[in-house]
Structure 1
């Protein structure tokens, strides 16, 4: 399938609100994780809590959607002028021709937790003001975003655990390819709640200290929250179906139909998508990372690229012993020592939002020309000799960043890899 333009994007997490705050924190290798002070949770762990969510109730006309997850969604939508970019897209395509595909794993479950505490002492009934459909269900998120922005096209919630925020790109791409829509708002939002904090703790997967992906001493995740959104659109002009048999010795900077002249050099494209399911275990990946490898191979094939073309990999990197080991084996087998890192040491594991947040971080790094490094990693696991970055930097002299791969792997073996590229590199390659 043809590449799509990832034309506008934004991210909000414990690193801050918007792209500038995120870029500054990652460049400085500054983590947003802090000792857990969320609600009345009493766990010895670090979390990535987003500042200001409780202070931002939804406008009165959207009161039926009011919950922490949708408040966080609205906070993220209003960063980097993203909501305005969507309204401009509505003017171009029509509200009915823009789809909404969003990932979440918990939805507004905190609202249900709070309602359960207020249930009728005699009957056990939940309070009459509790609105499951608008405040808890997975579809609450896309329904709110759709209403808030005035969109009327197809909408779907993807809830496939930690791959949710990545798999939305695949769903949107298929809908655009089928001609059902012209553009899509994609992303993911997940917010802190008792269920995930105590649930992962009961699985003995939560670290007491800030998580350390791929570190020899890694011992569990740090749970975070956040939201990221992006707009996927067709390229201004599609590449021609075929080129003439003979071409002049020197080609012009942009060929008719290439779409290059209409895009800035630093524009980011979604070039390939890979999805797989290893179905090995409900909460553990295949020990050799077979599903992860299948997803990465599929993304490469989809984009018409080889492992040597990839300049950076944003690892799923949860900091649990088994997950990092499985992904590391798959990355080593395919990519060797290609530069890579997990940004979860900065943001925490944002669960259903992770795929979207890390996709935006990968796109941001491509656009700005720098390589994110791990945070809190000091002693890399010698059993996983991948090209893990311990210092944030830029590409080597004479070698610009062209392509980045972003991995998101969820419980049950739900795997998704997204391959992003700079327009100036990818379209030049297509012309060649």
Structure 2
């Protein structure tokens, strides 16, 4: 079937999995240990296990010092990995034809917290105080300035679905011929606001999260960035479809039957022109909270059946909130990159204790790979507060010229 081609031609990534594609792939394969670390200072009364970036982050160039936050340094680390490819885009299309779409939920909130704490203690803000660090649009404005781009640049902030929704927005810019390419992805950094907020909701796990287990007790917060080049003309990995829905069931709880989640998955399939049995693997949202795992398993079995290989990678990354959709899309991007030799699937890491209330899924065991294939499609789910649901489908070998 001839399809309108959208390609994710390049990837830069940094997270608790590691810095760059090679480290990320090695951690997913079990050859490195993910940086799920017990840390102090984020909760007032105890430590928290957090998915942490331990690599030294590159300093921003002096001309970009006004953008200097941890969030933007994470994004710069990812962008620097594909800097040559971005410069080639600029030479090919011109700066005015390249856009930026970044999903985030924290932006520079931790720096803002520090600024206000300094003001409480001293009576004045420090000289480095910049209110715009806290603005949700900060990461997109930073990338636009970093590469002197002239296309649209904005951020998407819909909590945990933010960067997954950025793919849909990027596709629309290309379809409308507003851009020839878009830098699309997500970034979030650890901060006391989000860690404390999820603790107040009684959603933080006391150990590394345990998705789909009867012993699950919540999430670990994580941080990181993933950045892609989305374009119409070239690339090995295809963005086949995105499905969005909003069930608006509750401010911070999903519909218990997974109504909105199932609708997003079906919409993604329809957008991609695929049938359910053409999905070879699904990366679950898989937060290890009591409500999410039940409803997501219901939605997956309803739409895709119970045989599709599935796993949650959040025990290796933490829940990176606004960056989660992009980081988990990056995980299937890496698997698809090896489909000619047999795409490796990330293991579902849990204690193996089934919950009778959760429909049984085909959870990926250690060192499981798909058979070599000329054509492959994978799905990734992202669900957020307020019922903002997104399913993204990536593939290889589907589009024809």
1:140 is aligned to 138
- Aligned pairs for 1:239-388 within 5 A: 267-336=236-305, 337-368=307-338, 369-382=343-356, 383-388=358-363
Contact preservation (8 Å) 1:214, 1:384: no
Change in Cα spacing, 1:40 to 1:418, as seen in structure 2 (3 Å) is closer
SS in 2 for 1:224: coil
2:101 is aligned to 101
Question: How far is 1:390 from its partner?
Answer: 2.7
After superposing on structure 2, the runs of 4+ consecutive aligned residues of structure 1 that deviate more than 6 Å are none
TM-score (norm. length: structure 1): 0.87
User: Quick check: which has more Rg, 1 or 2?
Assistant: 1
Q: Which of 24, 46, 51 pairs up with 2:49? A: 46
Contact preservation (8 Å) 1:120, 1:127: no
Q: Deviations over 1:179-218 (max 9, x none)?
A: 1111100000000010011110111000010001112211
Question: How far is 1:125 from its partner?
Answer: 5.5
2:129 is aligned to 130
In the alignment, does 2:169 pair up with 1:150? no
SS in 1 for 2:257: coil
Tell me, which stretches of 5 or more residues in structure 2 are unaligned? none
Output the CA distance in 2 between the equivalents of 1:344 and 1:381.
Answer: 18
| Alignment root-mean-square deviation, CA | 1.9
1:413 is aligned to 387
Contact preservation (8 Å) 1:69, 1:190: yes
Question: How far is 1:116 from its partner?
Answer: 1.0
TM-score (norm. length: structure 2): 0.93
Output the CA distance in 2 between the equivalents of 1:157 and 1:57.
Answer: 22
SS in 2 for 1:34: strand
Change in Cα spacing, 1:377 to 1:4, as seen in structure 2 (3 Å) is farther
Output the CA distance in 1 between the equivalents of 2:193 and 2:301.
Answer: 35
- Aligned pairs for 1:178-193 within 5 A: 178-193=176-191
Question: How far is 1:34 from its partner?
Answer: 1.6
Q: Deviations over 1:31-87 (max 9, x none)?
A: 32121245686533310110135x6432221111111111111122223xx111111
1:62 is aligned to 64
SS in 2 for 1:78: helix
In the alignment, does 2:7 pair up with 1:5? yes
1:240 is aligned to none
Output the CA distance in 1 between the equivalents of 2:6 and 2:351.
Answer: 35
- Aligned pairs for 1:62-81 within 5 A: 62-79=64-81
Output the CA distance in 2 between the equivalents of 1:92 and 1:185.
Answer: 15
Output the CA distance in 2 between the equivalents of 1:284 and 1:400.
Answer: 40
Output the CA distance in 1 between the equivalents of 2:61 and 2:233.
Answer: 35
